Amino acid sequence: MVKKCFNHSTVPSRRKLPETVSPIVLGVTGGIACGKSLVCQFFKELGAAVLSADELAREAVRPGEKAYNEIVAYFGKEILTTEGSIDRARLAEKVFRVPAARHELNQVTHPAIGRLAEQRISELRKDPAVPLIIYEAPLLFEAKAEGRVDLVLVVAASPEQQLERLIRRENLSREEAYRRISAQMPLAEKVARADILIENNGSPAEVQKLIGDIFVKLTTPNKKNPPIPEDV
């Protein structure tokens, strides 16, 4: 369900949009295994341009890139595949267990991802065929990147749903799943900073309907915008 919605006239002042903003850049973030990718897929099916911070991260750490060299220098060659690229699973094992290692990784990757994101968003804003830009960034707040977007949508789920989804998706033990969830910014903090909040505890069909409503709201000229229902 949508727990927090808005009209352009009532967007919090820190996210106040001028009437002429088009296309809107909507940041999508939330907790691990809460359904961010599902939300973005539904937006994409409606015609939105979807930019993924995870994909930009892969680009930023390709062999030969500055970020790649810094990561290998810090973590060692044991995080590499036989082909020489970074093994994300091996790297994750290190950063989810050691906060200092996670901080070091973020210090290297966030600026590189940010530069790529700004470049791609700038290009997409110039395309008249793009009705809405989605920037999917799991660490949007942690990277202090909310200024890169016009509005923030947070996808949340109950603790039980989140835990079970993560265990199934990554084939993790319950202990390791807890560790990965605990390593992130508390979901409640992200929820408190959301302009739009979706609680993804129901079916994909329910989420799809909500995304359709939000898409219409964000791509219709302000004067004609119907309000999104407070409860769906």
Domains of the chain by start residue, with CATH? 2-224 (3.40.50.300)
Using an 8 Å Cβ cutoff, are 3 and 228 in contact?
Answer: no
Q: Are 43 and 212 in contact (CB under 8 A)?
A: no
Tell which residue, 229, 221, 212, has the closest CA to residue 17: 221
pTM: 0.85
Question: Which tokens sit at 117?
Answer: 């994101």
Distance from chain centroid for Cα 65: 23
Taken as a whole, the chain contains a residue count of 232
Query: Within a 10 A sphere around the Cβ of 230, how many other Cβ atoms?
Result: 10
Antiparallel, parallel or unpaired: β 132-136 and 2-4: unpaired
Rounded Cα distance, 75 and 98, in Å: 12
CB 30, CB 40: distance < 8 Å = no
Phi, psi of 32 (to 5 degrees): -60, 135
Per-residue pLDDT 10s for the chain (232 aa) are 444 444 333 333 335 555 666 899 999 999 999 999 999 999 999 999 999 999 999 999 999 999 999 999 999 999 999 999 999 999 998 998 888 999 999 999 999 999 999 999 999 999 999 999 999 999 999 999 999 999 999 999 999 999 999 999 999 999 999 999 999 999 999 999 999 999 999 999 999 999 999 999 999 876 444 444 444 4
For residue 230, give the DSSP letter. S
